[in-house]
Chain A
Amino acid sequence: MAVKDYIRKRFFPHIWCPGCGHGTVMNAMIRAIENLGLEKNIIAVVSGIGCSARINGYLDFHTLHTLHGRALAFATGVKLSRPELTVVVPMGDGDACAIGGNHFIHAARRNIDITAIIMNNSIYGMTGGQYSPLTGYDDFATTAPFGNIDPSFDVVKLATGAGASFVARTTTYHVTSTIKILEKAITHKGFSVVEILSQCPTQFGRRNKIPSVVDMLNSYKTDTTPIGSKEKEKNPDLMERGIFIQEDRPEYCTEYDKVIERASKGR
């Protein structure tokens, strides 16, 4: 199969702005699924609300476009009731870490076998450019006209602290490693978090004086470094990328099967 066999072609060209990183995330997602040779009927993609959330309308899987911040809660219902499904939950930074923060930490705590993709463009794109919990200090947004003072989350630490058993960070510049990471995340039996820095030229780039899409992508190259690299020691401000956590831990649906066995014997 090829990429075009995984999309609902009738809805292209897609809704995202020229140069939006979310298209590249979708591209990488499809290639990861293609490389894994997964059967389309067993894949459910559950999204919330926002630019990122429109991703599953384009994908020829079981697709559920839910409420802002609640994708993981819907996905928990899908996964627990049918554990044989591969459940992928793409979210925006607001979806996952603002309104959806509570569901994010609890899905991680449970270690339910869901792949959460956080498409981090440091802005609320759909609603026109407000700052989010992942917007940087002093960055500009329509609701931070004098520079953002909100400290932002470190999604990797947040996910790790909450108990996710697979945590990775990558960017839309590093396309090939993004595909590899997504393959591992989807295959991983447990709650997988993949933060993908994804450029938003229209709302973030323009407002923060980054001349072009290419400059935004290049900044993902210069501002990040592989985990534990020497550059990180020399320049602690660099954002580390790669796979931070990859552990086998009891997975929620498998544990619940044990509950069912105990309950059935208990009669």
Chain B
Amino acid sequence: MKKDVVFVQGNEACVRGALYAGLDFFAGYPITPSTEIAELLSRRLPAKRGKFIQMEDEISSMCAIVGASLTGKKVMTATSGPGFSLKQEALGFAVMTETPCVIVDVQRGGPSTGLPTSVSQGDVMQARWGTHGDHAVIALTASNSQDVFAITVEAFNLAETFRTPVILLLDEVVGHTRERLVEPKAGEIDVVERLKTSVPEGTDYHPYLPREDGRLPMSDFGGVHRHHVTGLAHDMWGFPSNKPDVVYGLMHHLIDKIEGHVNEITRVKEFFVDDAECLLISYGSAARTTRHVVENRRARGEKLGLLELQTLWPFPADLVRERCASANHIIVVEMNMGQILGEVKKVVKNPDGVFLANRIDGGFITPADVLNIIRITQGKGV
């Protein structure tokens, strides 16, 4: 069977993954380096009777996809750092109302206008804590077009399964690098459909009463159950409540439904991890450089390993702790000033033994940037 092989940017791989997952509605606003996603979808969505709209700003784009999701559609928006900052309040609204949606952040140099056409991975903590208040969030990432396709489908699946916004952290390198993508056939990757309530018309429907399996069936706006959706703390009927016991239950439900299922949400790729003496932990485009170094050095007998994280939030603490236990040295490779470094330090026995190989000048991290740090761990000069 002839495989569909295409030569595409990561941004296009994300578009193809979203369409594969059943994307119905996209709202976005132009911003480098994510604009290709909007451009491609403005052409491909209507071709499959989906809807595309370019809103007046990133705030309204995020609001529009939440509105669309509530009518039963699979939705996505895409932006970069500055737009991601603007979307935070509405992202929090999607968290509070448990509305499935996918937010792509193709990261660029920050803060502020920063380096619009240069790579960075500086939004990792913003993905975690960008919106206000205690909350949980899912953030995924990938380092090449093939993985971007698969992780985009995963983002939609997790959004539906956990009824939550899922953030897809790409970056300028992954987003713009054109490379081979073998496009899976329909059915090759499973796609989670919107779980709709089976409560018949005329019977009371609780939009926020989880089933035993924790899933929360939805009822579309326009369907037979007229219910209320609000960003205020609310009861299981969806109506505002500030009673302490109701709020306590709601907060734990919102957070535990994600933090309590880390294993189900964790996606990692491992290269020579089992017998690695020096374990490198990386993600996104930085993982491309790291993998090159690991494979290159392995050929010379150096026991390096790469743990590539595809799930950043909720942070896979147990898995990272376990993989780091057997390594003599741990190096985190990322293009920011240690945002995942901090998380790794929290979970290992010897935090001071965790090194950082990073790059924050807008340039793409090079093998030399990584090798220099490896040499330091080996007591050699650079």
Contact = CB atoms under 8 A, between A and B. Distances in A.
Contacts of A66: 63, 93, 231
B51 A67 contact: no
Contacts of A207: none
Interface residues of B, number: 44
A266 to B, nearest CB: 7
A84 interface: yes
- Main SS at interface, chain B: mixed
Given A44-B222, A77-B63, A106-B56, A260 B68 contact: no
Contacts of A239: none
Nearest to A72: B60
A262 B49 CA distance: 11
Given A42-B222, A84-B222, A106-B55, A77 B27 contact: yes
A102 interface: yes
B73 interface: yes
A103 B57 CA distance: 9
A181 interface: no
Contacts of B67: 46, 64, 73-79, 81
Residue in A60, A75, A81 whose Cβ sees the most chain B Cβ within 10 Å: A81
B13 to A, nearest CB: 21
Contacts of A77: 25, 27, 63-71, 75
B222 A256 contact: no
Interface string A51-73: 00000110011111111001011
Contact of A44 (B46, B51, B63, B221): B221
B240 A57 contact: yes
A207 B70 CA distance: 41
Interface in B171-220: 220
Nearest to A110: B53
A259 interface: yes
B24 interface: yes
Nearest to B230: A65
B47 interface: yes
Most buried by B among A82, A85, A256: A82
A72 B57 CA distance: 13
Contact of B71 (A65, A72, A81, A260): A81
A260 B61 CA distance: 20
A57 B239 contact: yes
A163 to B, nearest CB: 13
Nearest to B97: A64
B228 interface: yes
A10 to B, nearest CB: 9
Interface in B46-94: 46-47, 49, 51, 53, 55-57, 59-61, 63-73, 75, 89-90, 93
A146 interface: no
Contacts of B243: none
A41 B223 contact: yes
A78 B71 contact: yes
A107 to B, nearest CB: 9
Contacts of A70: 59-60, 63, 90
A63 B239 CA distance: 10
B71 A82 contact: yes
Interface string A241-267: 000000000000000100110111011
A85 B221 contact: yes
B232 A65 contact: yes
Contacts of A65: 228-232, 240
Contact of A80 (B25, B59, B226, B227): B25
Contacts of B231: 65-67
A106 B228 CA distance: 26
Nearest to A49: B231
A64 B59 contact: no
B355 to A, nearest CB: 42
A40 interface: yes
B3 interface: no
A65 B221 CA distance: 13
Nearest to B89: A67
B128 to A, nearest CB: 21
A205 B228 CA distance: 32
A103 B71 CA distance: 20
A267 B47 contact: yes
A42 B228 CA distance: 14
A65 B70 CA distance: 12
A34 to B, nearest CB: 16
Nearest to A264: B47
A11 interface: yes
25 contacts: A44-B221, A46-B67, A57-B230, A57-B240, A62-B226, A63-B229, A64-B67, A64-B228, A66-B93, A67-B90, A73-B67, A74-B64, A76-B60, A76-B67, A77-B66, A80-B53, A80-B68, A81-B24, A81-B25, A81-B67, A82-B222, A106-B55, A262-B46, A264-B47, A264-B49
Given A74-B67, A81-B24, 18 more contacts: A40-B226, A41-B223, A41-B226, A60-B226, A62-B226, A62-B227, A67-B63, A76-B63, A77-B69, A80-B25, A80-B53, A80-B68, A81-B51, A81-B71, A256-B51, A259-B46, A263-B43, A264-B47
Interface of A: 11, 40-42, 44, 46, 56-57, 60-67, 70, 72-82, 84-85, 102-103, 106, 256, 259-260, 262-264, 266-267
